[in-house]
Amino acid sequence: MIEENVKKLLESMPETNPYGEKVTLVGAVKLQTPDDINRAVSAGLHDIGDNHVQEFKDKYPLISGNPVRHFIGHLQTNKVKYLIGKIDLYHSLDRITLAEELSKRGEKTGVISNVLIQINIGNEESKSGFALSEAISAYEKIKAMDSLKIKGLMAMLPDTDDTNQLKRLATLMREKFDRLRQADRDIQFLSMGMSGDWRLCVDCGSNMIRLGTAIFGDRNYN
């Protein structure tokens, strides 16, 4: 099933978004076994993203195929030390204190970390991230930190069936992304889209989608 899901997704995903940018599929691997993750990687999944530091630590040595490693979950500042140097792209820079810690650890170890700034596009209590109106000031503060390289923006759309609302929010994200990108050639990634809304997100200009259920099936939380 997993192999089939990966192959079907890679075949059916548009190679580029309407802006002509390559769309990257990141497998959201929370709660999946190393075996299942390895099956997805050997079926062609090049990128995987973890949510939990403990899970990442436990599974890290058991993952084969050398996929690109993303961290997509909320990250506690005191756990940064376990990840530094092992993550290719952090999606969830949701506060300045986290950026400071990542930069400080990077300076100590000589590691430059690639990061996305997380925007709470739906202004939801349950989600973290900067307000859209704070995006530029957060960008400027983080840009000044030595050991970080800002590669773009990340957002999770609200869980709603209101397609117009989703399109409106996704388009606002794309506009902010374009504004940053005009002035900064390092800005490349707009990480937006999960199993339920990725098509809409790509149509609106996302170029990086994070899929769990669509690859691995429903998660078992027990």
Ligand X SMILES: *Cc1c(COP(=O)(O)O)cnc(C)c1O
Stretch that binds ligand X, among 10-18, 34-42, 96-104, 188-196 (CB under 6 A): 188-196
Q: Does 211 bind ligand X (CB under 6 A)?
A: yes
Distance from C-alpha of 101 to C-alpha of 157, rounded to nearest angstrom: 27
**Comparison of 140 and 218: residue with beta carbon closer to ligand X:** 218
Q: Does 195 bind ligand X (CB under 6 A)?
A: yes
**What phi, psi does 28 have (nearest 5°)?**
-85, 110
Q: Does 45 bind ligand X (CB under 6 A)?
A: no
E strands, 81-188, in order: 89-93, 113-119, 148-155
Q: Which of 2, 6, 28, 138 binds ligand X (CB under 6 A)?
A: 28
Q: Does 51 bind ligand X (CB under 6 A)?
A: yes
Q: Does 199 bind ligand X (CB under 6 A)?
A: no
**Given 3-state DSSP classes, what are the helix, strand and coil percentages for the chain, each rounded to the nearest 5?**
40, 20, 40
CB of 32 to ligand X, least distance (A): 10
Q: Does 127 bind ligand X (CB under 6 A)?
A: no
Distance from C-alpha of 193 to C-alpha of 196, rounded to nearest angstrom: 8
Q: H-type helices in 24-84, by residue range?
A: 34-42, 53-59, 80-83
Query: What is residue 77's three-state secondary structure?
Result: helix
Q: Does 128 bind ligand X (CB under 6 A)?
A: no
Which residues form the interface with ligand X (CB under 6 A)?
A: 28, 30, 51, 72-73, 194-196, 210-214
